[in-house]
Structure 1
Amino acid sequence: MTSIPVQLLCIAGTSPAVVTETVYVLAVRGEGDVGPQTIEHVHIITTTGGRTSLEAVDLIRCFRSMARDYPDAAARIPVRDDQIVIEVPNDTCGVELNDVRDACQSAVMADAIVDAVRRLTANDDRQLHASLAGGRKTMGHFLGSAMMLFARPMDMLSHILAGANAEACRQFFYPPSVPTMMEASGGVQFDASLESVELYSVPLLRLRDHVVNATRGQAKVRLPGSYAELVDVAQQVLTGSIRVSVDIDTATIRINDQKLRLQPGEAAILSCLLVEHAQGRTPVPATDMLYRNVGVGPALYGLHRNAQVTDEQSKDPFFYDELPDNLPSAARKKDEKRVLIDNLAPQISTIRKVLKAQLVSHVATLLTPNNVGPKGHRAYTVELDPTAIEVIEDSAYPERVPVPEQA
């Protein structure tokens, strides 16, 4: 028997028996070479209708009855109230889901399932056993996908099937230890103790090391919470496909539909570099980024203004607000160095950190501004293929103004 306690995750609909039957197989009978396991915690994700069905049968009462029926397994069966959690996700309006029938409800349920799998696979001292039985077919799909991305070698995905008579009897929750007559639909009498309950292990394509660990190894942060964003990130990692869009009107950047969370100053600089790169004008000399009215200064200034309008809560200052339109020749070299060291370089450094925190490592590398200029003459570019960049509303992007030569 394994010494690792099990956390059972179920997606029950209106058939509570799939939960009790799974606990019976795992804790009482044992499955395959593993033997009986201790079910430490049962987490059930369902709808309001599913919760009503679960509360009507009283799972704790069922489990305590199971423990009395099988005293040798009693210590492995969850019989305390704090061992059972029934979760009903809230929709975007804060209302509990009563069903999963449309795209919005499906997205909410998907996010809840992903969050549960993520949390339950975070503790290396506990095994996650996820059951596909019960719930809508889409819920099973979301659970299977989440397990593919997060499951560790010890975690399991399964499906439970009971005999025909058991499935047709609403009083059947597990095979009792002694002969017990029950009635199925249609008046069929059967001995519940003889009913078969079979648990099938579902093979998993385990991608955790390729997706979850690849991201954490670089940035040490959680993956996106949204199921849709998570699938998008996994696609980036597994196929290497990257699509980048830069919206000039809002100074927002999206990577395969994942919006980057940047302060306005950071958004302006990275947006500018990506647009210049898409138009074949990189590397951009740092000196072209230090004036308000020349070089790419007009673009940076406009992008920053657009970003602040988009992010109304932002108080992000931008050093361009403090710069004159064009520095006198005599003061340029000294002031260029001051602006570069005090303002531009720290912003570039922050952008690098933000990209590492929000993107998988190889994608962050492709979008990170790099200095490729000779010593003493910084110039920035990105490694991303320019054809992967889409510029939205590019007519609103100011033309680059040549920087006057120093006298």
Structure 2
Amino acid sequence: MTPPAGKVAASLRTESKELPPPPSRKETVLLAVTGISPAVVTETLWALAQERPPVVPDRICLLTTTAGKRSAEEELLSPSPALGGRTVWEALRESLLGDRAPSDCRLMLEPIRILGSPAPSEGRRRPLDDIRTAAANEHIADALLEEVRQFTENPDTVLIASIAGGRKTMSVLLYACLSLLGRPQDRVTHVLVNPPFDDPCLSPRFYFPTRPALRHHCPGRGSRKARTVSSDAARIALADIPFVPLRLLFPRQIGSFPGRFTSLVRSCSEEVRSLAQKPSVSLGEEAPILLVNGISVPLSGREHALYSFLLERHRQQKPPFPAQKNALEDLDAFLRRWAERWPPESFQHRAAEEWREPTEEDLRKLLSSIKGKLMAAGLVAELSHLLPRRGAFGIDVCSPNKQRPPGAR
């Protein structure tokens, strides 16, 4: 039997697990797409609070349809006799925040937002009751992208995207938006609960493990008899879904990427295809400049000399050195030859004479400096081609045929 309402309320107040307020930190936002089963939101929040350390979002943003909003308001925000007349949301906050719940600013539910699509004949955007057409999915994708963008562009926000609710296309689109704009600190989650607690026919419905436990009536179906189960038997599992933060590949371009979902996917696809090709590389002759796919990267004279050495070996199809120390003797011989190729007044000649005897420390510092300059130029994705990898001191690029230095002897 369900305990008396007053007893449930008192027990929840005295037995709740109170989570202390966190120190100064970034704001955590749970962004969830939901359908007519809003329990996935409360289950997700309860599971996050069980992590070590506990994760308690500051804000919860629900994106849904008109039918989903009705379900969320009726189930989460309406008084429940099983919870002593409190709403599910009030009971959840008290369970997780304890006595601080009335004054704690965490677990704040934002006004539930209904996804919509434009109705040109009426000159306005109409809320969606369901998502059944290709056009509706396209509008939903744009709306989800804009939601994700506003959070991921804020460096003081950590985003947790729940894909457990709503139609499958909503979940897939939200996951795609995180892959396009998400950052390493963001998360994508899915929540699972064991049967029969996932059954919407339970009475009362299950939302999270309350204290004390509630008794839920499970109606019979077919050959299965009706039974009563305790919420103590509920097992909630929160799964983190890995995603690739593609924005890390395009740090220079991401701020200017288009705002529409399909356009952004197209732009990222073009960028990814370009990454499959080796970057085109050449070195300036009048100034110490490295040109990568038409992007000019200024170098010091010594950096220019080192890269000339690597580029010449690549053009000659010589294998990479197994380590930097194995390249020192060949580099020293190259610098002597290189100094003779260029006129004494050229920066190339002066740079070669500055080297003296190369050391591993020289190579480490110069390569680190070149890497920083390439990253500043937005060439992060091309670094694996442009710089030597561990265990292979060489580069892998496309380069034009070597030109004869002016005044070469």
TM range (shorter): 0.5 to 0.7
Structure 1 counterpart of 2:268: 234
1:158 and 1:54 map into 2 onto residues whose CA distance is 20
Going from structure 1 to structure 2, the CA distance change for 1:96 and 1:81 (only over 3 Å counts) comes to farther
Aligned residue for 1:110, secondary structure, equals: helix
Q: TM-score, normalised by structure 1?
A: 0.53
1:72 and 1:124 map into 2 onto residues whose CA distance is 30
Residue 209 (structure 1) aligned with residue 235 (structure 2): no
Show the 5 A alignment for 1:58-97.
58-59=76-77, 61-72=87-98, 83-93=109-119, 94-97=125-128
Show the 5 A alignment for 1:255-270.
none
Identity of aligned residues (%): 27
- 1:232-262 Cα offsets, whole Å, 9 max, x none, are 1111111139xxxxxxxxxxxxxxxxxxxxx
Aligned residue for 1:166, secondary structure, equals: coil
Structure 2 counterpart of 1:56: 74
Deviation at 1:20, TM superposition (A): 0.7
Show the 5 A alignment for 1:164-313.
164-168=195-199, 169=202, 171-186=205-220, 187-211=226-250, 213-216=251-254, 220-221=255-256, 223-240=257-274
Residue 119 (structure 1) aligned with residue 150 (structure 2): yes
Going from structure 1 to structure 2, the CA distance change for 1:196 and 1:202 (only over 3 Å counts) comes to same
Structure 2 counterpart of 1:37: 55
Contact 2:59/2:106 (8 A) holds in 1: no
Q: Which runs of 5+ in 1 are unaligned?
A: 242-360, 363-407
- 1:270-326 Cα offsets, whole Å, 9 max, x none, are xxxxxxxxxxxxxxxxxxxxxxxxxxxxxxxxxxxxxxxxxxxxxxxxxxxxxxxxx
Deviation at 1:194, TM superposition (A): 2.7
Give the alignment's Cα RMSD to 1 decimal. 2.7
Contact 1:114/1:143 (8 A) holds in 2: yes
2:74 and 2:244 map into 1 onto residues whose CA distance is 37
1:198 and 1:24 map into 2 onto residues whose CA distance is 10
Q: Which runs of 5+ in 2 are unaligned?
A: 1-21, 79-86, 120-124, 221-225, 276-377, 380-409
Deviation at 1:127, TM superposition (A): 0.7
Show the 5 A alignment for 1:102-117.
102-117=133-148
Structure 2 counterpart of 1:13: 35
Residue 98 (structure 1) aligned with residue 116 (structure 2): no
Contact 1:160/1:199 (8 A) holds in 2: yes
- 1:354-379 Cα offsets, whole Å, 9 max, x none, are xxxxxxx99xxxxxxxxxxxxxxxxx
Q: TM-score, normalised by structure 2?
A: 0.53
- 1:106-139 Cα offsets, whole Å, 9 max, x none, are 0011111111111111221121000110111111
1:70 and 1:113 map into 2 onto residues whose CA distance is 29
Residue 141 (structure 1) aligned with residue 180 (structure 2): no
Show the 5 A alignment for 1:330-345.
none
Contact 2:159/2:187 (8 A) holds in 1: yes
2:235 and 2:207 map into 1 onto residues whose CA distance is 12
Contact 2:57/2:106 (8 A) holds in 1: no
